[in-house]
Amino acid sequence: MSLTLEVALALAEDAATLAALHERELTPPVLRELAAIGFPDNLALLPRNAAQAEAFTLMRTAVLTCVDPAIPIDDLAAEFAAIYLTGAYGASPCESVWLSDEHLICQEAMFELRDLYTACGFAVPDWRKRPDDHLVFQLQFLARRLAVLRDDAGLRALAAFLDEHLLRWLPDFATRLAARCEQQFYAALAILTNSWCQQLRDHLAEQLHEPRPTPEEIVERLQPRSQRHPFVAPVRFVPGGAAPSW
């Protein structure tokens, strides 16, 4: 798959769809629509290996299961709250919690992403309700940058964003939800999101003819940035409501 404008826009739509599913509680109409369009088989990035195929199978099964009227929608709402609002599963959707030494929200990652968003003309509506480093905002940013992707410089910038932010913590987020979720849908969604982002990063590497850096190489290149932002009083992960996104 070459990265034509048409492909880039299709990938942007994929990322936006994943963001929307993480952003708000499921409703019966949304579930029926997902089943009708054959989600996730309608995504532009289809499986290329066994692990990716398994992620698709899990998501496909979860959608078909949740459409069943025997599954109370309230159970899915409770699961959404446990992940994104109350923190009951201990799997924060915010990067800072995973990457800061004391697992706190609103740390360096949030400010780095705020700088990145600002440079690209974006801003979150209220960081106190949903911080800049929230999964939803990162996926929406990914969607917007894919939609304007035109050259190798854009490819490299997108690859750096995935290497230095989203893919440094998303695998752990997905793994924890897979182990702790009581309903299949959100565990499958986290696994699918990680699989899709990993495949996108592989695709960028192919387009650039540059191998993906190792985790050690990424950490090394991030070292000079460790003192970029002034000290900010630590904020512990206190779950709360979600604000509207971009």
Mean pLDDT of successive 10-residue stretches along the chain, which has 246 residues: 86 98 95 96 96 98 90 91 95 96 90 96 91 97 95 96 98 97 96 98 96 94 64 42 46
**How many Å apart are CA 211 and CA 4, to the nearest integer?**
21
Q: Please state, as a whole number, how many other Cβ atoms lie within 10 Å of the Cβ of residue 225.
A: 11
**How many Å apart are CA 242 and CA 244, to the nearest integer?**
7
Q: How far is CA 240 from CA 16, 81, 109, 130, 194, in A?
A: 23, 10, 19, 8, 24
User: What phi and psi values does residue 235 have, to the nearest 5 degrees?
Assistant: -120, 120
Is 175 buried (19+), middle (13-18) or exposed (0-12) by CB count in 10 A? middle
Query: Which of 175, 143, 172 is CA-nearest to residue 43?
Result: 143
At which residue do the structure tokens 């360096």 appear?
A: 108
Is 66 in contact with 74 (CB distance < 8 Å)?
Answer: no
At which residue do the structure tokens 């910038």 appear?
A: 157
pTM (2 decimals)? Answer: 0.90
Instruction: Write the DSSP string, 173-217.
Output: HHHHHHHH-SSHHHHHHHHHHHHHHHHHHHHHHHHHT-PPPPHHH
Query: Which of 76, 6, 53 is CA-nearest to residue 192?
Result: 53
Query: Which of 131, 140, 195 is CA-nearest to residue 19?
Result: 140
Alpha carbons within 13 A on the beta-carbon side of 234: 9
Query: For the range 69-78, what are the long-range contacts, defined as Cβ-Cβ under 8 Å and sequence gap of 24 or more?
Result: 71/183, 73/26, 73/27, 73/28, 75/182, 75/183, 76/25, 76/26, 76/183, 76/185, 76/186, 77/25, 77/26
User: What phi and psi values does residue 21 have, to the nearest 5 degrees?
Assistant: -70, -30
